[in-house]
Structure 1
């Protein structure tokens, strides 16, 4: 892939994190377009340098919301779009030019989309959690029973990779899981959730802050938080986490201070691949 070398890659913000379907490339949406990390090198992603938000990778591409690049003829905001060529182009799905979804996720295999709607509109008439099983052609409203906080306190959203009726929500105080498409949630841990994803085998991987940044894994059957060995995150925490879909031992996470770390052995050893937003 053609692109800028590591020396000049800058992450001005990080708005998501995921792997290409073949597990060969890490895709990071930044304020100034997609950045790609592959085989030890950074490059700019293909296509216009859009400001993708609510970014989530699936087995054949990614779904996103966000805003167009400066000088682009695309409408602002994006609503919901899907790309099957890593951002070279995208397909407009819904609410184009109307809504920017910051909290959005999709099931890796089934592509069911979940989104937290921030304001009523012509398609989603109230605020709250919605899901679509047909690429945003039709929507269902989730009841969200069991979560007693304001939408503004939701920090993260993740969908099970194969069972799209299982959805997890993180807040500033707790982790919740629903097994019926977001209608009824159960609180499964008291912690400040800073990031959230599902591993390929259906385990939850959750970032938190407790005197310092921490990452836990949780098996949904056991419901026990198991701490992952990570570098010391002083006054910092994981903002996004992803697991390689073709090699579950490989993990990557980004932090609020724009550091990015990768492990090839389930967290035993880590290598810093971005330092304060600068590609290493």
Structure 2
């Protein structure tokens, strides 16, 4: 029993030195700690090993000091210290074993997490493709997520909350807010990235504005925003556009629209063509948003997208969700059959810039569907935000 007490003392000291979060469960700060339990075990075993080594060296020094004593009392003390030294030596050996075991568990746990981790879309704030057409890219409140070849990934880079996301031929433009712990300022104003969010360049209204409704011409890079409040570059609310990467802004008259915008899309090449969705349909302008004509009256327009040919895709809701393709030139529309969406609708649409027959859309309930045959058939790749991994045969 006495020997046990001698061993338990250094163990207690080691435990006392551990971070209290190692034993906290369900606390508000737990997710931010970011360390698995096996890592805390490894730290504990490492601390114990250091303590046992320190105790061993200290006791060994005392034993050596009593090596040639003649008094009976000193000899008994030396024998007691020698026994304690053996116990500490065993504790030292067990600590080494513990370090090896917990280290192995940590490595195995990291590998297991890497292979079994799931991608979750907390929110969906946009939708687009990488310029090479190989990846669907989604800003999801906590950074960018990508889907490629049946597999979901978290895109490298800080986990910013991108809003007004717009994919273009050399990257993307966006607005939004910085990730927790980032040195970036809030809000973003207008930023641009050419490396899928690893870095970005601030263009305008940094620390001043967050644009939720923003669209950028895929090739022209003409930027259109619905400005929610006056700021240092825009005197009032309304539709503004820039054709020189925000060096200058112009305000559109928006004649013909008296309703609240719900969606916006810019023609990929023609800088002057912009479409705006409202509660009652879709309006089109061919003069930078000064004059609009109502071109679709089919209930609320929830999403708009121009493909590379200038065809306008319209997602909306009129008794039920719908998806249309509208030809700007001949004003003909074709409805695309979509999967049943229960109390849901299309929030974002995109078409692969390399494979024109590949379309994808995301819903307000964070379902994501992909079609490889122009909407003839659909594959669900995310269910209420949870990424669905394709099972390989």
TM-score bin, normalised by smaller chain: over 0.9
Q: Which residue of 2 aligns with 1:201?
A: 309
Q: How far apart, CA to CA, are the structure 1 residues paired with 2:270 and 2:211?
A: 23
Q: How far apart, CA to CA, are the structure 1 residues paired with 2:116 and 2:218?
A: 29
- Give 1:270's match in structure 2, choosing from 367, 378, 383: 378
Q: Which residue of 2 aligns with 1:166?
A: 273
Q: Which residue of 2 aligns with 1:177?
A: 284
Contact preservation (8 Å) 1:212, 1:232: no
- The C-alpha deviation readout for 1:99-135, integer Å capped at 9, x for no partner, is 0000001000010100111100111111111111111
Q: CA deviation at 1:7?
A: 4.8
Q: How far apart, CA to CA, are the structure 1 residues paired with 2:114 and 2:350?
A: 23
Q: CA deviation at 1:61?
A: 0.4
Q: CA deviation at 1:172?
A: 1.1
Alignment of 1:64-213 (within 5 A): 64-149=174-259, 153-190=260-297, 191-213=299-321
Secondary structure of 1:148's counterpart equals coil
Q: CA deviation at 1:178?
A: 0.1
Q: Which has the higher strand share?
A: 1
User: Is residue 40 from structure 1 mapped to residue 147 from structure 2 by the alignment?
Assistant: no
TM-score (norm 1): 0.96
Q: How far apart, CA to CA, are the structure 1 residues paired with 2:247 and 2:338?
A: 41
Unmatched tracts of structure 1, length 5 or more? none
Number of positions where the alignment pairs a residue of Structure 1 with one of Structure 2: 275
Over 3 Å counting, the alpha-carbon distance change for 1:6 and 1:185 in structure 2 is farther
Query: Over the residues paired in the alignment, what is the CA RMSD in angstroms?
Result: 1.2
- Give 1:57's match in structure 2, choosing from 149, 167, 171: 167
Q: How far apart, CA to CA, are the structure 2 residues paired with 1:78 and 1:55?
A: 12
Q: Which residue of 2 aligns with 1:30?
A: 140
Q: How far apart, CA to CA, are the structure 1 residues paired with 2:386 and 2:262?
A: 25
- The C-alpha deviation readout for 1:252-280, integer Å capped at 9, x for no partner, is 00001110000000001110000010000
Contact preservation (8 Å) 1:6, 1:43: no
Q: CA deviation at 1:210?
A: 2.1
Q: Answer 1 or 2: higher relative contact order, Cα 8 Å, separation at least 6.
A: 1
Contact preservation (8 Å) 1:6, 1:42: no
Q: Which residue of 1 aligns with 2:335?
A: 227
Q: Would you identify which runs of 4 or more consecutive aligned residues in structure 1 move more than 2 Å?
A: 3-7
Q: CA deviation at 1:225?
A: 2.6
Unmatched tracts of structure 2, length 5 or more? 1-112, 389-393
Q: Which has the higher helix share?
A: 2
